[in-house]
Amino acid sequence: MSYLLILILLRLLPVTEQTSDVLPKETRPAGFSVPGNFIIGGLFPIHKGVEKPTHLNQPQDSTCIGFSTAGVSQSLAMIHAVETVNNSPLLARLGVTLGYKIHDTCSDVTTALRATEDFTQDDCSSTMDFTNMDKCSQRSTAVIGAYHSEMSIAVARELNLELIPQVSYASTADILSDKSRFPAFSRTVPSDMHQTSAMVKLLQENKWTWVGVVTTDGDYGRSALDSFLSQAFQAGICVAFKEIFPDSVTNTKKLQFAVSRIIQTLHTNTKVRVVVSFAKPEHMSRLFRGLLDQRWVHQGHQLWVASDNWSTSPKVVTHEELNLIGWVVGFSFESRDITPFKEFLKNLEFDSVAQKNNSLLKEFYSTFMNNNNEQVFMMENLITSTDAGNVFSIQMAVNAIAQAVAKLCSNRNCTTPGAIQPWELLPELRNSTYEMNGTSYTFDENGDVNLGYQISLWSTIGQSVQTLNVVSMYHQQNSSLTSTNLKLSVTSKCSNSCNPGQFKKSAEGQHTCCYDCIECAENQYSNSTDMDQCYSCDNILEWAEPGSSTCKPKTPEFFAWNDGFAMFLLSLAALGVLVVFLVSFLFLWHRDSPVVKAAGGPLCQLILFSLVGSFVSSVFFVGKPMDIQCKVRQVLYSLSFTLCVSCILVKSLKILLAFQMKPLSRLYKPYIIVCFCVLVQGANCTWWLILFSPHKTSVINTSSILEECREGSYVAFGAVFGYIALLALVCFIFAFKGRKLPEKYNEAKFITFGMLVYLMAWVIFIPIYVTTAGKYLPAVEMVVILISNYAILCCHFFPKCYAIIFRRMYNTRADFMRNVYEYSTKGAGSLGDLILPEVYKKITNAFYSLYPCVMFKNMS
């Protein structure tokens, strides 16, 4: 292949495709062709568009305009690939070669269809010699191309008539995967479905949820847009705007209008910092120029996500412009090393078969042979315009066809024309695995190759733009991205992120990405940013304040040991027990003294013992409740204080019997009375425990779990404590009736006062207990218990202790007898009787034995 081949493709194709007045049934001659046993057709966009005739009165070819160096590079890649396989042992051992027919589509569907007619013509005789094959039109065994999806769709429909295999190296429209409509179509690039999936994953990974889309008004652009919108919606990415370029780049007026409209849209959507583009390189170049002309740099840097349509086109912007417009992240086809092709371009010579068999090449050779500067410039421009991904895809297409041909020819003689029909090649091509440089590739059931995408961040190197700075890879097999190395300070959101503890709320009819951040309600939480709803806490075990990012465990709440108030009450209980023991010891030490005997003797020890039980019961009101604790505390207190009040009742009754009910004194049985009273209370407690037993329960509050004791039945609770109150009331009445006994005898007064304090404390307790809730409810009863206990101590025992310790001179039998005598004498005088000494002695002995407790006014 000679260097003149480049010049022919640069100059020959415009000349051959500007031919007008072509008859309707004539087919367009190939731009460049080489004969072979099997012809491969090639469709490449060597021009960017066509100039449509003003008046169309008969079928005509259009004039191709806008030369594309990249298209020339693609056609040369096919030529190099064909020559490579022809020189390989794969075909050489079979004695067959591949030829080709290369046509320029001029980026126009109509032009591509006219070129396709040449691929379906077959007027070569089966007996014709191979050396004369260039004198007839041989039907193509397969076709490589086209570049644009809309052209591949149109060409595929025509090739379907002959089932000629078509392998595209760049058409990615998802519709082409539909084998019911395009049975002969395959491609060496992945479907747009994978490209848009990779784009969405990139946006999602970087939390770019508010984006714009720019595409073209063609099959490729529409298909890519639909696929992107569908996947973006599922990923929670919102599209702020969709702008569409006209598919043609030659209609300057329409193109400029579209550019102006898109620029206005970008100015309006100031929060959109990421734009996904499926446009053509020419579209993006004009758009960037327009933005720079309007000083877009002052609006802040933009991130442009480039599809494979323009991701490897460095001429879209200059290195200075790239720094102004922002960043470009491109999605391009997965590629391999194409160094051999670049060497092929650098080492072109003028002695190839193609030059010798084409007279036009000689003509253009003579035109450029003396212009070395232009030749060098064209060579450098051609190498720069080479897209590694496209070159690799073309090489895969040629190798796949060559290996399929080799498999078929291994079982037949392929040196004669028509040895293999196109429809025979199709299943072999589709179902085979072919190798390139040690790597295996296959077409799936949709005719798509198993390749992914490489993601690149455009950068500047010197005065040039580098488009293949790979930062990530997309794998088609598991639809995943490798970790990206993008470090871009780009934020593209309609609304700021909602913090943990908030959720997104969108207005009706508004994009889901445009929202207000609302704090989570009480007992709800959100633990990450941008959550659509708040989660509910476990209402039993957890709680959360409004705007919380996590649930907190509810705090167990009870009247704890380390509570200050509890410690104070426990100290009083402990002090009470200590005082009781001291009083008990003092009474035991002076058990034969008149004061102790007058206080009741053994009954005093019984009262003190009951007070110990009452003080101890208060301890069970503190700490984390348990079922056994709930039962013990009420029963222990009720029995203990019933015993206490019963003993005091007996003492009150003894006073009345001694001074006012002497005839009934014989019926006085103190211990039987005490036992009876306690047994009645025991029956009450037993009935309570069996039928309505107190138990532990948990009250679920907003932020805590109150653990408390439930009394089981307030009726039973009232009956038990009402019984104690009844005994206290009777005791109070007895003591009150005895208030006018001997002037120096003060026992009834103290009992009256003690019972009055008890009754008042429990009367006050009832409303407080009913209206109080929370962990301090046990403290209410505990306070009343302590008040009751200390009232008994203070009224019944402290005066006697004072008399024993500080009034010892009055703690004698003689003084006791004198006080009785004075009361008896006073009583007899008031009745008009005189008590004789003998009678006085009997009364004194009887009284002393019944209730020998005489307190003197001096003692108090």
Note the pLDDT of residue 660. 60
Give the residue-averaged pLDDT of 359-363: 36
The string of pLDDT tens digits covering residues 134-184 is: 556 788 999 998 998 889 999 999 999 999 999 999 998 889 999 999 999
Interatomic CA distance for residues 526 and 755, integer angstroms: 60
The string of pLDDT tens digits covering residues 188-231 is: 999 889 999 999 999 998 889 999 999 998 888 888 999 999 99
- 830 has a pLDDT exceeding 50: no
- 19 has a pLDDT exceeding 90: no
Note the pLDDT of residue 740. 60
The string of pLDDT tens digits covering residues 70-118 is: 888 888 899 999 999 999 998 888 889 999 999 988 888 988 998 899 8
Note the pLDDT of residue 349. 57
Which residue from 104, 43, 100 is spatially nearest to 68, judged by alpha carbons?
104
**DSSP 8-state class, residue 148:** S
User: 575 or 418, which is more confident?
Assistant: 575
pTM for the whole structure = 0.64
472: helix, coil or strand?
A: strand
Which residue from 340, 341, 335 is spatially nearest to 456, judged by alpha carbons?
335
Which residue from 358, 440, 451 is spatially nearest to 101, judged by alpha carbons?
358
Instruction: Give 307's pLDDT tier (boundaries 50, 70, 90).
Output: very high
Q: Please state whether beta strands 210-216 and 502-505 pair in parallel, antiparallel, or not at all (unpaired).
A: unpaired
For residue 146, say if its preceding peptide bond is cis, omega within 30 degrees of 0: yes
Of 495-504, 556-565, 665-674, 813-822, which range is least confident?
813-822
Residue 506 φ/ψ, nearest 5 degrees? -95, 145
Note the pLDDT of residue 97. 92
Of 402-406, 544-548, 588-592, which range is least confident?
588-592
The string of pLDDT tens digits covering residues 420-431 is: 899 999 999 888
The string of pLDDT tens digits covering residues 731-744 is: 888 777 765 655 44
Place of tokens 């948990």: 698
Interatomic CA distance for residues 699 and 197, integer angstroms: 53
Residues 256, 286 contacting (CB under 8 angstroms): yes
For the record, the structure tokens of 756 come out as: 């009055």
Instruction: Give 63's pLDDT tier (boundaries 50, 70, 90).
Output: confident
Note the pLDDT of residue 21. 38
- 822 has a pLDDT exceeding 80: no
Note the pLDDT of residue 350. 46
Across the strands, what pairs with 401? none
Residue 518 φ/ψ, nearest 5 degrees? -110, 135
Long-range contacts of 319-322 (CB under 8 A, 24+ apart): 319/460, 319/462, 319/463, 319/464, 319/465, 321/288, 321/292, 322/458, 322/460, 322/465
Give the burial class of 447: count Cβ atoms within 10 A of its Cβ; 0-12 exposed, 13-18 middle, 19 or more buried. buried
Residues 159, 186 contacting (CB under 8 angstroms): no
**Other CB atoms closer than 10 Å to residue 698's CB: what's the count?**
15
For the record, the structure tokens of 183 come out as: 């049975």
- 850 has a pLDDT exceeding 60: no
Which residue from 66, 91, 70, 93 is spatially nearest to 81, judged by alpha carbons?
91
Note the pLDDT of residue 612. 92
Secondary structure (DSSP) of 539-586: TTTEE--TTBSSPEEPEEES--TT-HHHHHHHHHHHHHHHHHHHHHHH
Interatomic CA distance for residues 551 and 524, integer angstroms: 8
Q: Where are the beta strands (DSSP E) in 149-308?
A: 166-168, 185-187, 210-216, 238-245, 274-277, 302-306
Q: 812: Cβ–Cβ under 8 A, 6 or more apart, which residues?
A: 594
C-alpha dihedral, 809 to 810 to 816 to 820, nearest 10°: 130
Mean pLDDT of the chain: 80
**Other CB atoms closer than 10 Å to residue 858's CB: what's the count?**
11
Range of 99-113, 334-348, 375-389 with top mean pLDDT: 99-113
Place of tokens 């006062």: 753
Place of tokens 């455009």: 458
Residues 265, 212 contacting (CB under 8 angstroms): yes
599: helix, coil or strand?
A: coil
The domains of the chain, with CATH numbers, are: 32-51+63-124+135-190+386-449 (3.40.50.2300), 564-573+604-807 (1.20.1070)
Note the pLDDT of residue 96. 92
Note the pLDDT of residue 679. 93
Give the residue-averaged pLDDT of 692-720: 87
User: 805 or 155, which is more confident?
Assistant: 155
Of 5-14, 114-123, 451-460, 578-587, which range is least confident?
5-14
C-alpha dihedral, 613 to 619 to 621 to 625, nearest 10°: -110
Note the pLDDT of residue 29. 53
For the record, the structure tokens of 697 come out as: 């329960």
- 839 has a pLDDT exceeding 50: no
Range of 362-366, 437-441, 613-617 with top mean pLDDT: 613-617
Q: 839: Cβ–Cβ under 8 A, 6 or more apart, which residues?
A: none
The CA-based angle 163-169-170, given to 5 degrees, is 115
Q: Please state whether beta strands 502-505 and 480-481 pair in parallel, antiparallel, or not at all (unpaired).
A: unpaired
